[in-house]
Structure 1
């Protein structure tokens, strides 16, 4: 009788009162798995990883990552540690092992993509611990050095002013300059970027600041709802035109709600050395090792793809990338329009020169 009860406890989820939350990521949960109340995602995460060698899981931030619904996929080491701390036990997996093959088979049957596109996937559902760590680092660069704090400070500073004094031309110029400089810090502090030669670092900044910095700014505008401020919108409309601002609002509203994915896209754009518009610095520059830059970009694309298929589904990932392409095409159209604004191109040149000086100083 004791053995039967033990088996039942291990293999069968125990119902909990409605309204419970997952002890690991704090998402809604109604059952206990392996000894702790958990959602299905954390249950499967623990089942897949609990018996692996813990040396495979290393936290880039000394085990201090916060684990919640929004970032539970970022650091596997901290998520697994929280699973154990919440009461999950490896022994409970082992006694329910006969069910594992059935669950896995059912999952693959219902979610596998059509055979015509299966060759796109080398690993459908999981990333290695090193890939999760790589994602974690890219998120760290964006959160630590990105322009979000600049946008938040600017917005609160302007709102405190009388309406007639808000969003003047000089304030907007300083604001956009600060956004680009902060966005570029995301690249400058990237370990992959630092592996490049000083010439390739300088050239990459010159060729990617225009677009990657703008996209990073669009993302934080999406986060802070900056374009919903009527006065800010009208001030920029007078500078760039109504059609440009309409397209910009469309792009901002169409960004995916998964912030990890968007931050990975920003990283990809910083390693996309292509001049999509007529903007030029009139300086002929070439890369010493273009293959290294493209290899980094390819790694980031793979991380973004695997992350989306892991967290969501193959179908959702396809739709998400398709929507991203549409947004980028909209952006490149308005980028051409912005290039004819003299004050804007002057600002871009100024930011590029300032950033180049930073790179040269750090290189020496």
Structure 2
């Protein structure tokens, strides 16, 4: 069950050294791989930075500040659960053995039987299965595909380029609008690299794209901008507020706060939504055709949903997994409310149409 690394040819996301593999969810060199494996679980609280966590980590300075190095490992997407060493497997068994620990509920529910609050727990308590080897491989490939094609790298590059300019020339309206459109297009092209997406008919791909683009962009593009740190850049925030409005940007910031803290779970939710056949809150102006093979699409959708559930049970307890999925439903409702408001903005509609057109061209050319 050891994770098989995926070969690639890029720079390490942590220190920029040459890297040939994806390790624990992020492209990294062997030095940063071993550093994360040794310290990720036990040293998060003991490492301290003397420079207020602002150290620049590169190939020459990576050993100078382990606190900032470990923090950057998590920031680029490395996951403790993907280590899956013997020590972590023991911890997982210990978690499963403690499923019967009473969950802390609000005071007015303390005397209520947990089984009456969460019936799903009783239905699945006897299910001790975890992800199969094929599911682990699919999960690893999904994380690698997100890291390579989601637009996070492009957002980091855009942020670096803008910081090289004088303050008065940073994040101009035209360049920022072009970047937002490009970032959304890259997010959709990420699904084109998915073997399941390419296995369905071309007409169904186009219908899925139009039906889900607003929801995948609201979650995926926002999450990518958050990972790159752009949404907390005052100048970038000011320019995007000019495009979408201050109220919309405030809702986007609140939306980020409702995202699950587990980045792997967010990435799984994103691909689940991409294969969803549900009609969402905002109905399109174009004539919506019916999917020609909805059964096949639902099978793909359910397979990713199963991986998401098994992953959450693998990492947490049944009770925590149920509660996190309930929280996800609240987050999706907030996403729909945000889309309803932003859909009234002409600039946003133009960006969405450009994304759909460019993604369809990309699909045909490939």
Alpha-carbon distance change, 203 to 74 in structure 1, aligned in 2, over 3 angstroms: farther
**In structure 2, distance between residues paired with 1:184 and 1:105:** 37
> Bigger shift: 268-277 or 207-216?
268-277
Give the aligned partner of residue 60 of structure 1.
Answer: none
2:311 to 283, 307, 311: 307
State whether residues 211 and 269 of structure 1, in contact with CA within 8 Å, keep that contact through their aligned partners in structure 2: yes
Q: CA deviation at 1:191?
A: 0.7
Contact in 1 for aligned 2:95/2:317 (Cα 8 Å): no
Please show how residues 178-217 of structure 1 align to structure 2 within 5 Å.
Answer: 178-217=182-221
Is 1:123 aligned with 2:124? Answer: no
> Would the alpha carbon gap of residues 163 and 312 (structure 1) be closer, same or farther in structure 2, given more than 3 Å must change?
same
Given candidates 65, 79, 82, the residue that maps to 1:71 is 79
Q: Quote the residue 1:291 is aligned against.
A: 295
Quote the Cα distance in structure 2 between the aligned partners of 1:318 and 1:105: 15
Q: Is 1:254 equivalent to 2:258 in the alignment?
A: yes
Q: Counterpart of 2:251 in 1: which secondary structure?
A: helix
CA contact (8 A) 1:222 1:253 kept: no
Matched, 1:177 2:189: no
Change (3 A) 1:326 1:105: closer
Are 2:220 and 1:219 aligned? no
Note if 1:160 corresponds to 2:164. Answer: yes
Q: Is the 8 A contact 1:74 1:135 kept in 2?
A: no
What is the correspondence of 1:336-355 to structure 2 with a 5 Å cutoff?
A: 336-355=340-359
Distance in 2, matches of 1:149 and 1:169, equals: 21
What does the per-residue CA deviation read over 1:212-269, in whole Å, with 9 as the maximum and x for residues that have no partner? 1231111122222322111222222232222211111011123222211111111111
Rg bigger for which structure? 1
1:332 pairs with 2:340: no
Distance 1:301 1:104, change over 3 A: closer
Would the alpha carbon gap of residues 111 and 128 (structure 1) be closer, same or farther in structure 2, given more than 3 Å must change?
Answer: farther
Q: TM-score, normalised by structure 2?
A: 0.69
Q: Please name the residue that 1:243 is paired with.
A: 247
The offset of 1:293, in angstroms, is: 1.1
Gaps of 5+ in 1: 1-20, 31-65, 94-100
Asked whether 1:268 is paired with 2:272, we answer yes
Kept in 1, the 8 Å contact 2:40–2:80? The answer is no
Q: CA deviation at 1:186?
A: 1.5
- Structure 1's 341 and 183: CA in aligned 2 closer, same or farther, altered over 3 A? same
Q: Name the SS for the 1:219 alignment partner.
A: helix
Bigger RCO of structures 1 and 2 (CA < 8 A, at least 6 apart): 2
Give the number of aligned pairs. Answer: 286
Q: Residues 163-199 of structure 1: CA distance to partner in whole angstroms, max 9, x if unpaired?
A: 2222222112211111111111221010111110111
Q: 1:123 to 1:133 in 2, by over 3 A?
A: farther
The CA RMSD over aligned residues, in Å, is 3.2
Unaligned runs of 5+ in 2: 1-33, 44-72, 104-113
Give the Cα separation in 1 of the matches to 2:354 and 2:143: 27
* Structure 1 partner of 2:115: 114
1:25–1:72 contact (8 Å) kept in structure 2: no
Equivalent residue of 2:291, what SS? coil
* Corresponding residue for residue 39 of structure 1: none
Alignment CA distance shift 1:323-1:25 (3 Å)? farther
2:362 corresponds in structure 1 to 358
Counterpart CA distance in 2 for 1:168 and 1:251 is: 25
Given that 1:124 and 1:310 are in contact with CA atoms closer than 8 Å, whether structure 2 keeps it comes out as no
SS at match of 1:127: coil
